[in-house]
Amino acid sequence: MSLASVQRVMVAAAAVALTGLVHAADISGAGATFPYPIYSKWADAYKTQTGTGLNYQSIGSGGGIKQIKAKTVTFGASDMPLKPDELKASGLVQFPMIIGGVVPVVNIKGIGPGQLTLDGATLAAIYLGDIKTWNDPAIRKLNPKLALPATAIAPVYRSDGSGTNFLFTDYLSKQSPKFKDNIGAATSVQWPVGIGAKGNEGLANQATQTDGAIGYVEFAYAKQNKMANVLLINQAHKAVAPSAASFQAAASNADWTHADGYYLILTDQAGANSWPITGASFILVYSNPPDPAATGEALKFFAWAYKNGTQMAADLDYVPLPPALIKQVEATWKTSITAHGAPVWK
Amino acid sequence: MDQATAFVIEPRHAARQRLGEQIFRGATLTAAVLVLVLLGGVTIALIKGAWPALSHFKLQFLTREIWNPVTEKFGALAAIYGTLVTSAIAMAVAIPLSFGISIFLTELCPAWLKRPVGVAVELLAAVPSIIFGIWGLFVFAPILQRHVQPWLIAHLGVLPGIGALFQGPPFGIGILTASLVLAIMVLPFIASVMRDVFETVPDVLRESAYGLGATTWEVIWKVVLPYSRTGVVGGIMLGLGRALGETMAVTFVIGNAHRVSTSLLAPGTTISASIANEFTEAVGDLYTSSLIALGVLLFLITFAVISAARLMLRRLDRKALASV
Amino acid sequence: MTRRFSRKVTNIVALALSVGATGVGLLFLGAILYTLLKNGFAGMSLHLFTQMTPPPGAAGGLLNAIFGSAMMTLIGIAVGAPLGVLAGTYLAEYGGNSKLSAVIRFVNDVLLSAPSIIVGLFVYQIVVVPMGHFSAIAGALALAVIAIPVTVRTTEDMLRLVPQGMKDASTALGAYPWRTTLSVIYPAARSGILTGLLLAIARVSGETAPLLFTALNNQFWSKDLNAPIANLPVVIYQFAQSPYPEWQQLAWSGALLITLTILALSIFARIVVSALQPARRS
């Protein structure tokens, strides 16, 4: 085959590929990786039912915020809510979509799921490097009946920027002023001790391989891999186990009605059954969308997900929003998202 | 060819030929200059993206270890250190191994075994680097953690001097693991190039040496290697370039800590791993710009390595010519 | 110890070490391949080629990813390879040893060894940011940028191997260099150039980093160049790190597919070279 004919074939093939310029999806979204599994499952079911496709790119909360501000996607998704003044400055409307929890897990010989109890201050001290062994007095005080070995603690953290990091560090910052000053809360922080692992899988793998390790993973993952989760002492001084019920308790105890722009971080909420490291994942759309039709389609999808997506969410161990909150959000849509004076979603 | 019977072209054909020549020559020249433009473009685009961070932190960016997205203070020291150390160890492991493999393939291997072993080595080069990362994390690291690292800590960690290299709990992942995974990754590239280059050595040179009574090893070390040194250096540089820039194989097993540690068993980070891990989630212009600045640094390091290689090759060639 | 004896010992030790080195290399190769094959084959079925990437908890395939990778590779090579061949032709036929050619060769080496993540950042800056969104065309351009230096290098090397006598004969017949190149040199070097093309394809097929910030990924079937598109490397990257067994299985199978493709291309390239090139004995 001569070079000329090879080139001719290549050009022809490229032309064939280029003629397929079909717009497959009308709704585009980008952002957080935390809710990606449930968003993609909903999108799949929605497409089967209605024929409208939704292309969600899980590039991270930061990427989602960037994209929506650049007006290149219909909606952005972020695990870290934007503050009200930032929302106003960008002309964005924010609302919660789904709730999940971050669960500390441990790998200590002789300790199974739900046996170890910790509280926020102790957890922060561990990740600051102040508590170095498992038989430290602070841990023994919380677990008087447990036989704790003298193993060194190996803290494992998420090396990639993620919403899970944000929730975890936010909780620890609330519980420990030292943690707040030295490390702070963000999707990516500078950890003084321990090792970083990539993704939930990497972290869980590292935690299960290292004797004496402690880590934090999305609830879905801890459950599916049967990891030894930790009980946490919440704001009501009760030790709670992570579960869909305790996440929902945290969400429902939260005061959404007074949250400007739904800016509410669900860590450390009041309530006897509330899980302390709960978090909502948020959606960002424009108050005056540049493409009202697309935004309208997106809102239709979200309404459908609120109504029909609860079982799918439960299957993947996410927690749907409480019904009262859904009503509040849909009311916000009607009043805040408008085009030419009329609401985009009816 | 009889020069006297030159072919005569008619004037109108000549004009068309000249035009064709201008077009073709122009096209190739444009394409060649495009290579320059491409490099220039890459450099400019990267520097433009990195400028906010570089102008903000100035030289401190290179010397500080801190990497704090919350307070927005960034320094590349840990990433640079990790990149250089992992590549150095990877090359220290891969070069002797590749050398051994290529010697085996060219001098020792029986003919029927040559094809399969050669294909096997190439197979390793065909494996996507992400596989090395996943394999490293799920298969290699646990083995290191349970068997190799405890041994290193117990036996080498107690020695004075080099003991400092083997301190700390056996995590399984870390700088040493990443270096070894890198070594396995670049091994086939260097070995293939060395093998190809060794095979181009004319038999007559080898036979002459054997005729003088040289052992196989002496033939390799004193005849084959000097003859093919340009290619060997080229192969090593190829491997080094890959090692410096490798992202996927390293990201999974480096431990991702923006810290400089003396211990090889400690976690660290490399420039590529930092960019891959953090770029899409980076919020804030300074954070994004700092990551692109890391990219600029990596580009400079690669640039320096290639320039050094070329200089070394030129010196080798000059020495060879001088000794003729 | 006599010198002769010590030389013998050195010889045996060195050769034993080289056998050992080969053993070590093969051991690791075996371990990695075993893991790849064991996990990859478990998911090999027709579904892989007929179904799209699924949401978690559902079975599916890799069709959109395979198509996306194929399309971007095709466009990337279609854009990059001709440019590379032309540039290599310049260096071999016109440039010679001029200053400009030396600079271009050096720059080409730099680009050749540039980490692919740098290429990804570059294309992000000049294509994704101005366009405002990720797209298949950005991914294809990133692959083209990676393919160009490879093609330049192989083309120049191959063209230089064509015997000078053939070029002289053509010139003596009155042909301008462009005619000589097109009618004589290219056909003579065609196996080498084809090999270069195959190597470039193999090289870009396994690249993940440049696609992370350019083409991104897409859950659905898409032929739209202007939108993100599914591709094997990024799908593997995402799925391997997930906690869902179906996704992990697809990741391993996808990895096996890429490996087999690259291997087939490399072997094919070697066959082409040995079959079409004259023997190298001088």
Contacts of B278 in chain A (CB under 8 A): 160-161, 188
In angstroms, the CA B197 to CA B199 distance is 5
Lowest mean pLDDT among A283-297, B294-308, C43-57: C43-57
Between these two residues, C45 and A303, which has the higher pLDDT value? A303
* pLDDT band at B1; cut points 50, 70, 90: very low
pLDDT value for C277: 60
**Band of pLDDT at residue A244, cut at 50, 70 and 90:** confident
8-state DSSP, B63:
H
Nearest CA in chain B to C148: B35
Tokens 């990720």 — which residue?
C134
**Residues A60, B280: C-beta atoms closer than 8 Å:** yes
Interface contact flag, A199 C241, Cβ < 8 Å: yes
Quick one: pLDDT band at residue A14, thresholds 50, 70, 90? very low
Categorize the per-residue pLDDT at A128 as very low, low, confident or very high, splitting at 50, 70 and 90. very high
**E-strand stretches of chain B:** 67-68, 73-74
Closest CA to B136 of A224, A210, A218, A205: A205
A200 and C57 in contact by Cβ < 8 A?
no
C266: chain B residues, CB-CB within 8 Å: 122, 125-126
* CB-nearest partner of B302 from C115, C255, C280: C115
Let me know if C24 is exposed, middle or buried by CB neighbors in 10 A (0-12, 13-18, 19+).
middle
Q: Which residues have a Cβ under 8 Å from the Cβ of B234 and sit 6 or more positions away?
A: B193, B197, B309, B313
- Residue B98's pLDDT is what? 92
Confidence of residue A118 (pLDDT cuts 50, 70, 90): very high
Question: Using one digit for the tens of pLDDT, what is the confidence trace for B311-321?
Answer: 877 777 776 66
Rounded to whole angstroms, the Cα distance separating A232 from A242 reads 8
Cβ contact, residue pair C224, A43, below 8 Å? no
Determine contact, residues C200/C80, Cβ cutoff 8 Å: yes
Contacts of residue C213, Cβ cutoff 8 Å, sequence gap at least 6: B279, B280, C120, C121, C123, C124, C128, C134
A245 against B323, higher pLDDT: A245
Beta bridge partners of A76: A30, A284
Nearest to B126 among C22, C100, C259 (CB): C259
For B66-100, b/e burial (b = at least 16 CB within 10 A) is ebbbbeebbbbbbbbbbbebbbebbbebbbebbbb
**Across A21-50, average pLDDT:** 77
pLDDT of amino acid B180: 95
Query: Is A81 touching B (CB cutoff 8 A)?
Result: no
Q: Which residues of C touch A67 (CB under 8 A)?
A: 133
Instruction: Compute the average pLDDT of residues B180-207.
Output: 89
Chains that touch C (3 or more CB pairs under 8 A): A, B
What's residue B8's pLDDT?
58
Among A210, A211, A282, A284, the residue to mutate for chain B (most B Cβ within 10 A): A210
Averaged pLDDT score across all residues of chain C: 84
Quick: pLDDT tens for C180-192.
888 888 888 888 8
Please, which residues 126-165 of chain C have a Cβ atom closer than 8 Å to chain A? Answer: 132-134
Rounded to an integer, what is the distance from CA C169 to the centroid of its chain? Answer: 36
Which 3-state string (H, E, C) describes C84-124?
A: HHHHHHHHHHHHCCCHHHHHHHHHHHHHHHCCHHHHHHHHH
Mean pLDDT of A73-96: 90
Per-residue pLDDT averaged across A38-57, rounded? 87
* A103 Cβ contact partners less than 8 Å away, ≥ 6 residues apart: A216, A217, A218, A219, A222, A229, A230, A242, A277
How far, in Å, CA of B62 to CA of B297, rounded?
9
B218: phi then psi, degrees, rounded to nearest 5: -65, -35
| Å between B151 CA and nearest CA of chain C | 20
Q: Are A106 and A194 in contact (CB under 8 A)?
A: no
- Torsion B133-B135-B141-B147 (CA) sign: negative
At residue A253, the pLDDT reads 75
Q: What is the pLDDT of residues B280-297, one digit of tens each?
A: 777 778 888 999 999 999
Amino acid at C34: Y
Instruction: Name the most confidently modeled range: A88-92, A251-255, C56-60, C110-114.
Output: A88-92
pLDDT over 50 at A12, yes or no: no
Q: Taking CB atoms and an 8 Å limit, are A14 and C238 in contact across chains?
A: no
- The overall average pLDDT reported for chain A is 84
pLDDT of residue B175: 93
Length of chain B: 324
* Cβ pairs B/C, distance under 8 A: 262
Close Cβ partners of A40 (under 8 Å, ≥ 6 residues apart): A56, C55, C56, C219
Confidence (pTM)? 0.82
Q: According to the model, what pLDDT value does residue B114 have?
A: 86
**B115-136 confidence digits (pLDDT tens):** 888 878 777 777 788 888 888 8
pLDDT (average), residues A13-27: 44
How far, in Å, CA of A20 to CA of A1, rounded? 28
pLDDT digits (tens, 9 = 90+) for B197-248: 888 888 898 899 989 988 888 888 888 888 888 888 878 887 888 899 888 8
DSSP 3-state of A342: strand
Question: Are residues C262 and B276, on separate chains, in Cβ contact within 8 Å?
Answer: no
CA distance linking residue C103 with residue A85, whole number of Å: 53
User: Which uninterrupted H or E stretch holds A324?
Assistant: helix A323-336
Distance from CA of B140 to the nearest CA of C (A): 9
- SS3 for A222? helix
* Residue A183 to residue A214: CA distance in whole angstroms: 18
- Token representation of residue A80: 């870290």
**3-state secondary structure (DSSP) of residue A96:** strand
Work out the pLDDT band at A22, boundaries 50, 70, 90.
Answer: very low
Give the whole-angstrom CA distance, residue A223 versus residue A103: 10
Residue C54 to residue A71, Cβ atoms within 8 A: no
Interchain contact C179–B (C-beta under 8 A): yes
Tokens, residue B200: 């181009």
Chain C contact set for A225 (CB, 8 A):
243
HSE of C7, CA atoms in CB hemisphere, 13 A: 11
Confidence of residue C74 (pLDDT cuts 50, 70, 90): very high
- Do residue A189 and residue B141 have CB atoms under 8 angstroms apart? no
Cβ pair A196:B267 closer than 8 A: yes
Q: Does C243 reach chain A within 8 Å, measured CB to CB?
A: yes
Which pLDDT value is given to residue A8? Answer: 52
Mean pLDDT over A56-73 rounds to 79
Q: Is A191 helix (H, G, I), strand (E, B) or coil?
A: coil
- The predicted-structure confidence for A166-183, as pLDDT tens digits, reads as follows 899 999 999 999 999 998
Least confidently predicted of A53-62, B16-25, C35-44: A53-62
User: Which residues of chain A does B49 touch, with a Cβ-Cβ cutoff of 8 Å?
Assistant: none
pLDDT, position B86: 95
CA distance A117 to A140: 10
pLDDT score of C219 more than 80: no
Between positions 38 and 77 of C, the ones with CB within 8 A of B are: none
- pLDDT for the residue numbered B96: 92
Looking at the predicted structure, is the pLDDT value of residue B84 above 80?
yes
Alpha-carbon gap, residue C258 to C202, rounded angstroms: 9
Can you say whether the dihedral through the CA atoms of A199, B130, C80, A16 is positive or negative?
negative
Nearest-angstrom CA–CA distance, B134 and B142: 12
Of B76-90, C57-71, C76-90, C216-230, which range is least confident?
C216-230
* Lowest-confidence segment of A299-303, B68-72, B129-133 by average pLDDT: B68-72
Q: How far apart are CA C277 and CA C190, in angstroms?
A: 9
B68 with A162: Cβ contact below 8 A = no
Tell me if chain A has a CB within 8 Å of the CB of C224: yes
pLDDT tens by residue, C226-275: 877 888 888 888 787 776 778 888 888 998 888 888 888 877 877 877 77
Q: Are B83 and B294 in contact (CB under 8 A)?
A: no
C chain contacts of residue A24, beta-carbon cutoff 8 Å: 220-224, 227
CA distance to A97, A264, A327, per residue, from A324 (Å): 13, 16, 5
Taking CB atoms and an 8 Å limit, are B282 and A62 in contact across chains?
Answer: yes
Better-predicted residue by pLDDT, B55 or C217: B55
Cβ-nearest to C194 among A6, A13, A201: A6
Backbone angles phi, psi at A159, to 5 degrees: -85, -30
Is the predicted pLDDT of residue A159 greater than 80, yes or no?
no
